[in-house]
A and B are shown apart, each in its own frame.
Chain A
């Protein structure tokens, strides 16, 4: 369910890092909790962001949920396809429906995030 090469936050975001090139998304658990996702608000390319700060928001029919950046860095790309098809976040949150790409400014931050195994236990325990 949760890819082993991702790292996870307590706020249910994931990051996949390849050197200083990162991809950020929300987890399957997050999309399940949100329900039908109808709107995604993402930062502009070039925005510098600190780990733990708001990266934007995801909205379901009922609620708005902030997304927090798992890592610090500069946004290099946003997933434009989500503007017209936010519902992809419900079907493929770990794949096609990534949110942003980021150039990591502090590679060590990755080490502080949860592994897939730890995240699995975390969401299991949260229920």
Chain B
């Protein structure tokens, strides 16, 4: 019998276990999937505030006089348009146009870009970027230097503000600032993966546990809850945010994934551009679309989707939407049918169950 693989763990691992979190193997990482319950945690984030350990996420730094050129060359979004302190969502693509990963690019300065990447893709991403480094840039796999804690929800700002002299109200959405949180150096980003307002802070691993406790204490008056990956998934699905390995992977292009907005074809040469230009010319055959179940049943990841009884696509993510009281999901369908209002059937336990394609996001917070 092969030995069980050794799971990687975050600096907060022992702490999660002591709190009674249920742990799972998430892409090789031993992570909390839930504490008090997925729906309870989900609701805390929608109505008050929740805190997530997302230290498994990877960080890659690109530095040097040609850092901008390399970052622009390996990503799909317009890096040259970022100002220092600004971040954007972007894609790392293969030459054939499929995703290596989806990432956040933060411009620290003209000569330093900070990438937040998916945990299980970190090494692959690093190698991919390094392989395309025909520039005078330094690429560093920096995951070990950061723990990441996400504070999300309408009371996230009020919670975090108690712990930092940085004026959080002055950080616009998808901007960040380097400052201090309770005396520790922290990169404070006004970003998130929940569809709710919130912040993600990058801190030294040695400070992670203290930081978590301080955040929990600061949020106590709002009813803050520790949240696991289960709630993170229901929250991001309602907000229609992609998850690598589900909506996107090496076989899917950003145009198919309805992520055309992160692709700037006119910005100049970048890895995957030629393939995307061809796709744009000839048209894509399939496209991501949201759906709602019409009949009883839950369409889940990997289930087949039918059009008039014939197989036509598959569910990438699906499940109950706690904020909407509906069963929702995302699926790939032939482009012509990938429009809201199409009647589809999801194959659940070999039975076709009625669903309908809908506009997304499923959930949008009130501004």
Q: Report which A residues bind B (CB closer than 8 A).
A: 35-36, 38-39, 41, 57, 59-62, 64, 83
Contacts and interface: CB of A to CB of B under 8 A. Distances in A.
- Of the four ranges (under 10, 10 to 19, 20 to 34, 35 or more), the interface on chain B belongs to 10 to 19
Interface stretch (B79-87, B111-119, B277-285, B295-303): B295-303
Contacts of B298: 38-39, 59, 64
B274 to A, nearest CB: 40
Given A35-B37, A38-B298, A83-B296, A62 B349 contact: no
B300 A61 contact: no
13 contacts: A35-B22, A35-B34, A36-B37, A36-B40, A61-B38, A61-B39, A61-B319, A62-B33, A62-B38, A62-B233, A62-B319, A64-B298, A64-B300
A62 B26 CA distance: 13
Given A39-B298, A62-B33, A62-B319, A57 B38 contact: no
Contacts of A64: 298, 300
B230 A62 contact: yes
Interface of B: 22, 33-34, 37-40, 230, 233-234, 296-298, 300, 319-320, 322, 327, 349
A65 B296 CA distance: 16
A83 B39 CA distance: 18
Closest 3 CB pairs of A and B: A61-B38, A38-B320, A36-B39
B32 to A, nearest CB: 12
Given A35-B37, A36-B38, A38-B320, A61 B230 contact: yes
Contacts of B296: 39, 83
Contacts of B34: 35
A62 B231 CA distance: 9
A24 to B, nearest CB: 19
Given A62-B33, A62-B319, A41 B230 contact: no
Contact of A35 (B230, B233, B300): B230
Specify which of A61, A62, A64 lies most central, judged by the most chain B CB atoms within 10 Å of its CB: A61
Given A35-B34, A36-B39, A38-B298, A61 B349 contact: no
A73 B276 CA distance: 59
Contacts of B230: 35, 61-62
A61 B328 CA distance: 12
A113 B302 CA distance: 35
A81 to B, nearest CB: 15
A60 B40 CA distance: 13
Contacts of B300: 64
Contacts of A38: 298, 320
A40 B322 CA distance: 16
Nearest to B233: A62
A61 B325 CA distance: 12
